[in-house]
Amino acid sequence: MVNNSMSVPKRRCRRKAILLFLLSYLFFLLVTLPASLLLTHLPLPQNITLMNIRGTLWQGEIGELHWQGLSLRQVHWNILFSRLWLGMPSVAVSIHDPDTLVANADIGWRGSWQINELALSIPATALQQQLPYPLPAQVEGTLHLNIGQLRFDTAQCLALADAKAEWQSASLQTPAGELPLNSVHASLHCPRHDTLELNANQQSAALQSQLTLRLNSAGTYQLQTTLTPGGELSDDIRASLEWLGTKDDLGRIRIKNDGRWY
């Protein structure tokens, strides 16, 4: 009887050891499984192409990413284990493609998507190529965007904090000549869950401007701009700007435009 009573705990310990070994082995397989096998089974957007995938689920790199005319190189990711214990699976993502985009951010999910500490830099020429409509001018300079925190779901901006943008060394090459803008500063807000609002201002010897842009999740936009020509604005560009909107008694040009952005 004694031997039988002692064999039960032994069998239980043996089962626990086998179970622990199996779980450890499965975890090892998951950690070492090539990312190229995992990414092909994820519900990715249509028409997205991933090339030169290296690494594992926990840490890896996509050599090239192509989607809807956008091409990115050197996309890296790294799972943040510290966030797993907080109930928010998160990944640190970085993109280093100087010709297109340089960015760093932490992306997590807990009922809704959350982006923390986003820092993004993109040449204005690369951004112009992604616009749905052609502009009558060539933009120059570099756009920098920093966001402390952004929470959103499929169609709503749930929270947006510490979101600022700057267009450095900004200028427009127009058929009437160059329009120097210096730097353009902007802030972003979500006044409502379905609306993103951008407020920007700019000042140079040639032009001063204030702009408010509202984008709706339904695909509509509202644009209000006030342009104040400066003393160094050429006559040709001044005449071109007056065609854009209504000129008031102080010489300011007011522009209002509503439409759809997709």
Within-domain flag for 238: yes
Within-domain flag for 40: no
Q: Please state the pTM of the whole predicted model.
A: 0.80
pLDDT at position 197 over 70: yes
pLDDT at position 5 over 60: no
Q: Which domain holds residue 213?
A: 112-260
Q: Rounded to the nearest 10 degrees, how much is the dihedral formed by the CA atoms of 99, 120, 65, 54?
A: 110
Residue 134 — pLDDT band, cuts 50, 70, 90? confident
How many domains does the chain contain in total?
Answer: 1
Within-domain flag for 37: no
